[in-house]
Structure 1
Amino acid sequence: MRSRAGAGREDVGTPFLLLPGAGGRAWYWHRLVPELERRGHRVAAVDLPADDDTAGLEAYATVATAALDALVAAGGDGDAVVVAQSMGGLTAPLVAARRPVRLLVLLNAMVPRPGETGGEWWDAVDQAGARAALAREQGRPEDGDGETDFSHDVPPEVWAAGAEEVGDQSGTPFGEPWPLPSWPDVPTRVLAGRDDRFFPLALQRRVARDRLGLDVVEVPGGHLCALSRPAELADALDALLVAEPTRPVT
């Protein structure tokens, strides 16, 4: 396991644990980390064992929890904020069920139901239908390239650099039923990119409402907004620290 901790002063700022989506690399957060540090926070972005076919959700949660323990032990202002991108939504609540967490933030993230596999999630929420509907609305081909939907607003040089950083994603965690009996009783916020083509905003609003009883907070950018709009995302995360806590209704 490799984590990249912020280099801020000891015992200042809120600890932020950043969990990536499919491919599992801390690199995804490399533009956001310095933005959060500039706002006075301590940050750790985690590599998850995405290319290990023996690693399921338990292994992902174990790696993430160890990184959280190290982050909190290093100092900061109280319990950590756990931020999960995309597939990271399967892992983040498992961490929040194991350790005290100040806030759980889902960023363009999957929201699982108890017993549902990650593989079942796509049809259950009609991700393909929502993606096609948005393409029609915007005058784009419904069967457009998935990589473009991921990266359409990421600077080309940043996306090109990612080709060497982002690894393969094993299907093992997608085949396992999500293990919690319910969403953890932890304040939770859902951030959704208003330009997300992969998990369209309308889809994220519906899923957040139906599965958590929560509204979404819109942020600029597409599915990979930590790469395309890191400063704006850091501002949104910073603002959540003083917002009224919201708990899921499941």
Structure 2
Amino acid sequence: MTTFALIHGGGSSAWDWHLVAAELRERGHDVVAVDLPIDKESSGLSDYTDAVVEAVGERRDLVVVAHSWGGFVGPLVCARVPADRLVLVAAMIPAPGEPPSDWWGNTGFSGGDMDDEIALFMHDVPKKLAEEALARGRDQVGRAEREPWPLESWPDVPTSFLLCRDDRFFTPAFMREVVRDRLGVVPDEIDGSHMVMLSRPRELADYLTGRS
């Protein structure tokens, strides 16, 4: 049995993973998903990491999965606990010493139309589910945005990147370049929007468990 530690993205919550968590549990695996303290002004990257590490506890056979902004947290977790694998799903890839707030300019990110968040992030998610996701969103505040990423190098853990082919936020062409420059690998790809865990939970669970 594998334990999957699922890390949500910016402005979100562990709820984002509930469909994937159900799929993984049906396959006989353990799942840990935690709300990062993104809505606390005093919380920094270490607090985000602590939340995941404490939830994992003594579990082993661990796969850490980080989505979007959670890409700044996933490697920090892997530097603290024994992990067999790190999977970045449409995620930001940090560089040593880089604050998350600098990532956008450093990578040449060109933005998107934030006036319609469903169209930008969840255009293929059922309407009621997308609306619930927006209602469950949280404001992300605090010093974590401004803190330099503390690792001097990438943790010694096998890392894969899953790119979403229909992502309108982190577009495929943009992310392929970022993955090449920062990880030096060719990303795996899956159909789906930025919130692929809500639009294609079964397919994402298949990928995570090695069935795709």
TM bracket (short chain): over 0.9
Report SS of the residue matched to 2:136. Answer: coil
Q: Which has the higher contact order (CA 8 A, sep 6+)?
A: 2
Residues in 1 aligned to 2:181 and 2:195: alpha-carbon distance in whole angstroms: 24
SS state of the match for residue 25, structure 2? Answer: helix
Max radius of gyration: which structure? 1
Residue in 2 aligned with 1:3? none
Aligned pairs for 1:1-250 within 5 A = 13-69=1-57, 72=59, 78-128=60-110, 143=113, 145=115, 147=117, 148-239=119-210
SS of match in other structure, 1:232: helix
Structure 1 alignment gaps of length 5 or more: 1-12, 73-77, 133-142, 244-250
The whole-number CA distance in structure 2 between the counterparts of 1:157 and 1:24 is: 17
How many equivalent pairs are there?
Answer: 211
Does the 8 A contact of 2:39 with 2:142 survive in 1? no
Deviations 1:135-190 (A, max 9, x none): xxxxxxxx573512112111111011223322111152111110100110110000
Alignment identity in percent? Answer: 47
CA distance in 1, matches of 2:88, 2:142: 21
Q: CA deviation at 1:116?
A: 0.8
Q: Which consecutive unaligned segments of at least 5 residues does structure 2 have?
A: none
Please give the TM-score of this superposition, normalised by the length of structure 1. Answer: 0.80
Does structure 1 retain, via aligned residues, the 8 Å contact 2:197–2:204? Answer: yes
Calculate the aligned-residue CA RMSD, in Å.
1.6
- Secondary structure in 1 aligned to 2:188? strand
